Amino acid sequence: MINKKWDIILKEEMKKDYFRKLGTFVKHEYATKRCFPEYKNIFNALRYTDYDEVKVVILGQDPYHGIGEAHGLSFSVQEGCKRPPSLDNIFKELESDLHIHRENNDLTDWAKQGVLLLNSIMSVQMDRPLSHQNHGWEMFTDAIISKLNEREKPVIFVFWGSYARSKKVLITNPQHKIIESVHPSPLSAYRGFFGSRPFSKINRYLKEIGEKEIQW
């Protein structure tokens, strides 16, 4: 399905009853309603960042629900789209942290360097945020996080906001690193996202463990 090692890692998960029901639900939603991302792009996060290549996980909640925005990577939008407020604040913090001024709103280059841009809920109806919650996506993406937790090679988990931080319970392997703060949303960014310096923290830790730093 994904054509990567993820297919092997998640093989048993995909056989479970909840996942079959999720597949039926998603197919029906896409057949009868306008949903995002495009059906072919739902698993882009896993396609761009295979299991063994994951260095960093940045967890989002669900995809952008406007036309042409979501393409299967958390926080990222397709080129040509207006920059969403949370992504704008992420770029402001990147510039403050590492003096990198980024124009490109498509984060595929991050994904190809080992940053798994994973949404906990991987699809959404147009203009209806969280419309696909509680149908099985959360169980599936929790399983993805748990499989990464099992890895010996360290992973840096980035949890922004209370929803993402609730997933900390899945990280039980002390080899892994957790970086957390409030969400970059305009509603909360000034309460601790700005000044949290996640990008330099990630690169410093990658350097410590002998991994190539991310070119943000």
Q: Annotated active-site positions, please? A: 62
Reduced to 3 states, what is the DSSP secondary structure of residue 45? Answer: helix
Q: In what order do the strands lie in the sheet with 156-160?
A: 115-119, 56-60, 156-160, 177-181
Reduced to 3 states, what is the DSSP secondary structure of residue 157? Answer: strand
Q: Tokens standing for 162?
A: 């209370």
d(CA 51, CA 151): 9
User: Do 117 and 60 form a contact (C-beta atoms < 8 A)?
Assistant: yes
What DSSP string runs through 52-108? GG--EEEEESS---STTT--SSTT---TTSPPPHHHHHHHHHHHHHH--------TH
d(CA 158, CA 151): 17
